[in-house]
Amino acid sequence: MSSSPRSASSIPYVTPWEELIKLLDNHRAEGKKIVFTNGVFDLIHPGHIRYLREAKTLGDILVVALNTDESVTRLKGPNRPILPLSERAKILAALEAVDYVTAFDEDTPAEILRFLRPDILVKGGDYTPNQVVGKDFVESYGGVCRTLNFVEGYSTSSIIEHIIEMTQKAAR
């Protein structure tokens, strides 16, 4: 990316942090609860959809923070992400449950959480509450951390493995 996701961004569907904080302040002034989640969200699958819908029910406004491509590569290896940030953001922004998409380049969402200060921090059931980065910070100002049920049978990694297996079988 030519600019930090924190500053003005030229990537459609990605709301820069400075703009997002103003929007969220307006929502808070209206008494709305801000829900925050983060992740790679590469190859959106039914588990992601269920997770985002459930996250949205916990408050009024759902913010999804995506790891940048560089962050994904550091965390998941040189073959990831499958889809670039611009495409992952476009897909998430099209989902009814998602109100805002933003991005962060760090390996964890700690910095963006300090900036946005959501009311509710949400992660999937593949995390325990004590594993959630930012839990202590969010709870320090009265926010809540929730982990949602894990949807069995769906993972991006297993989908990628299945595609590779099928491709290898077809090549034989």
Tell me: the pLDDT tens digits for 70-89? Answer: 999 999 999 999 999 999 99
Report DSSP letters for 12-72, one per residue: TT---HHHHHHHHHHHHHTTPPEEEEEE---S--HHHHHHHHHHHTTSSEEEEEEEPHHHH
Tell me: the pLDDT tens digits for 34-66? Answer: 999 999 999 888 889 999 999 999 999 999 999
Q: Which domains does the chain have, with CATH numbers?
A: 17-171 (3.40.50.620)
